[in-house]
Structure 1
Amino acid sequence: MNIFRIKKNFKRRWRRWRKAIWTVSACGIVALLAWLGMPLSDKLETVMTREEPAVLETLANLQTAYDHVSSKEFRQAINETNRVRTVHLNKIYTCGEESQVLGDMKGKEIADLQNKHPDWTGRVDAGGEVWFDHHIVDLSDICKRSGYIGLDHKGNLSLFEGPPKDEKVMRTFFQLDIESMESALPEDIVNQIRQGIRIQDVEEYNSVLSTFSDYATTVSQKAIKLN
């Protein structure tokens, strides 16, 4: 049995005691960022919302004002002229991304599209093309089909398409302190990460990242905190 599935079951039992502290702290962070007019980074939002439903609810409520302003500015940008713009949809999954071209549209058509999908975030790039970002708490098709988390040849914890030996890196997370990891973790877990851990659901994906983030190098730890 995968060691991370055992760990996942164990975490469900001991996680309850920190629920109150986590919820209060996280809600405070969200409230502060919303008050300052700053959006949450993708990583911070993923960590916070996966922990407690109360945080998810607070995030949705407090980010509404910010999203409203962003949406208004986006609509003003696409309505400045009646020009035809190429529209893209970028699906940002917890694990992986997928993009597609929706076609060429005028401002009113783009606005109508956003009205139908209020959870999409719109932006106009430097070339005048429109991108909609749709955040999805799930694994992309490619991650479900062949996603692995393992080590690249430089010791970075990375997301791979297929086993790490195939060297098809899709995303690099952070540099690991290999010596620290090997001295602290059981040999079978170290072997698993070297061979690549197959990712089958969002909870397991987050569990693997959480486990190995404890062994990130000092520079990587600072980067993780900033994000």
Structure 2
Amino acid sequence: MSTKMQWVYTEKVKDHFVNPRNVLDDEDSFGADGTGMVGSMACGDQMLVAIKVRDGKIAECRWKTYGCASAIASTSMMSEMVTGMSLEEAYHITPKQITEALGGLPEHKFHCSVLGDKGLRAAIDDYLEKNGLENPFTKSVANIVCECVGVTDQAIEAAYKAGAVSYEAIQKATGAGTVCGKCREKTEAILEEMEHLYGKNHE
């Protein structure tokens, strides 16, 4: 029997994992304009994204993580992709775009790619808040999950962060799934993602 390990990722993923770009070595000396922390050590992945902003664009994007190869590679790739982008463009970058740039990720590792884009959004949110600027991007990235009541994924995320960490608690907090119930599968998938990002006992 061969004991040689098999690499199941693309060569781009391997490159960004072995030679990650834009790693944040020293947070204090970087002098970030905005920072965002997402993830949960309880779930095994945690991500810090730091940005510098010049003339409404991402001048530099640095990051550090406690995470798997997929999380490292996807955030390394993201940091290259968003450098030079406007804040609006960067805010709307998706895990799918990052994954495609890497040539794909194993399906069970796709959730790792959301760490980078969530961390980036949090860093942009932080930058705007620190500078007393209105955030014009939030509504444009919200998706309707429960059509009967008009509940968005962002409303579910906000409820989760406020302590509603079960489907029943989300129903009570937002009204999602209280009419026809067809959105339950989508809602539970978002809850799984939130648990990965923030931990179940984050509150």
Structure having greater relative contact order (Cα 8 Å, sep ≥ 6): 2
Between Structure 1 and Structure 2, the one with more strand by share is 1
**TM-score, normalized by length of structure 1?**
0.27
**TM-score, normalized by length of structure 2?**
0.29
Between Structure 1 and Structure 2, the one with more helix by share is 1
Larger radius of gyration: 1
